[in-house]
Chain A
């Protein structure tokens, strides 16, 4: 048996939902989908998670992979690329809230991402994938691993929210996530390949930008409610 490559423990830690970065208060559209009876059971959860992986998962995987190579001079451009891929204001706010939470943790965990970037360069409310890419770099990980964590979190956060909201069998939810494993791997691999081939900052134009009007709609319907359980 071969030993796991270096950095796997850090990778697992970044993908762990117990990481205290505030992700647990976001449902990624699940709460509104449950309210609208779009998401009612195991099969509809699987479809929702797959759809989210192919849109939000691809976009955040690409941005996280690109952020591994971030420098102080290119932060503004990647931030704008993230904004341009997130038309929904509620989703932008959710991304920045989770970015701030992860930044707080990263500041405590690592001195800085690398010699050409300090945490303060990211600003007070950076998009989550930018912080994730920088934290991956600080932990000694590369673009492929950053993309993998992003794609994985695009699925697992909403899966947990659905389990809580619908009272689903935790085994069924876990299996739904496991069954998406190959698709998560593929999304991360493709997104990282695009990010590595793109010359920053203008080449970031080519990063994945898959959008889903359904998720935008759910995010804005949710934001307009006064009686939310989740922040998004």
Chain B
């Protein structure tokens, strides 16, 4: 199945936020839930192997867009010969802000999923991007996942990073410790991101990027642990409560 979501956020001259485009087909629906907020709603199971999902987000100059999800996305094994793909493309103009924090992506045993997020920012654009990946449901081994995160500001490379279940599963781990089944990444870019020094807390790390902004990464045996580590290392604007109502 092929699914495609398109959202264009703009702002009128008097400051009123508008969604100039809001459409979805396939296994996803999109609902406007606030002046500049949309929620993604899964309307079918999956993605299953071979499914193609594309999210195309555009935030025009001075506008704001918040993208959230109502439930975790569960990648499942399927009849397709190829991995499922889940690609997000975002274009954020000058003075605009994109906050994209969908619910976790759970990669079930036997599923194959490749995710990609490509963000292009204008020089004064802002981004707060949260990605949560869980390998396997409770007491289930995870499927095969790789995820690429690409960010450019003003056409120059800021971040290029691929993570994969294969690497996370490769040792070493503490003797007797659970494998890292959950990874949370948060990319903060833009003029309002406070200059930060590199820091660690538990299994979380803040990496100030060479081109500005910061990449936060946390991992853990479960998602709640990873999120707790992530907020411990970046208490300025925590995400855990906002994401899970805790």
Interface residues of A (CB under 8 A from B): 33, 36-40, 44, 47-48, 50-51, 54-55, 77, 80-81, 83-90, 92, 205, 207-214, 216-217, 220-221, 223-224
- 0 or 1 for each of B196-216: is its CB under 8 Å from A? (1 = yes): 001110011111111100010
Is B235 located at the chain interface by the 8 A CB criterion?
no
Enumerate chain B residues within 8 angstroms of A48, measured Cβ to Cβ: 171-172
Q: Which of B24-32, B50-58, B154-162 lies at the interface with chain A?
A: B154-162
Q: Which 10 A-B pairs have the closest CB atoms?
A: A47-B171, A83-B210, A209-B160, A84-B157, A87-B207, A211-B161, A213-B217, A44-B172, A51-B170, A217-B205
Q: Given A83-B157, A87-B207, are A38 and B162 also a contact pair (CB < 8 Å)?
A: no
Interface size, B (range)? 35 or more
* B167 with A51: CB separation less than 8 A: yes
Bound-complex Cα distance A153 to B211 (A): 27
Contact (A83, B167) CB under 8 Å given A213-B183, A213-B217: no
B156 partner residues in chain A, CB cutoff 8 A: 80
Q: Which B residues touch A44, using CB under 8 A? A: 171-172
Q: Return chain A residues, CB-CB under 8 Å to B203.
A: 217
Interface centre among B172, B183, B209 (most CB of A within 10 A): B172
Expressed in whole angstroms, the minimum distance between the Cβ of B153 and any Cβ of chain A is 10
In the bound complex, do residue B171 and residue A51 qualify as a contact, i.e. CB atoms below 8 Å apart?
yes
Q: Which residues from chain B sit less than 8 Å from chain A, CB to CB?
A: 148, 150-151, 156-164, 166-167, 170-175, 180, 183, 198-200, 203-211, 215, 217-219
Report B-chain residues with C-beta under 8 Å of the C-beta of A37: 174-175
Q: Are B148 and A216 in contact (CB under 8 A)?
A: no
Q: Is the interface of A mostly helix, strand, loop or mixed?
A: helix
Judge whether A88 and B205 touch: CB under 8 Å.
Answer: yes
A82 to B219 alpha-carbon distance, docked (Å): 24
Partner of B167, one of A86, A89, A212, A216: A212
**Residues of chain A within 8 A of B199, CB atoms compared:** 220, 224
Chain B: minimal CB distance from A205 (Å): 7
In Å, the complex CA distance between A92 and B198 comes to 12
| Chain A residues with CB below 8 A from B160, complex form | 81, 84-85, 205, 207, 209
Query: Chain A residues near B204 (CB, 8 Å)?
Result: 217
Which residues of A have CB within 8 Å of B215?
87
Complex CA distance for A48 and B203, rounded to whole angstroms = 17
Q: Chain B residues near A223: list those with CB within 8 A.
A: 198
Contact A84 B170 (CB under 8 A): no
Residues from chain B with a CB closer than 8 A to the CB of A85 are 160-161
Closest B residue by C-beta to A207: B160
A38 to B164, CA, bound (A): 20
Q: Which residues of B contact A84 (CB under 8 A)?
A: 151, 157-160, 209-211
The 8 Å CB contact of B207, one of A47, A55, A88, is A88
Contact A224 B200 (CB under 8 A): yes
B162 touching A211 by the CB < 8 A rule?
A: yes
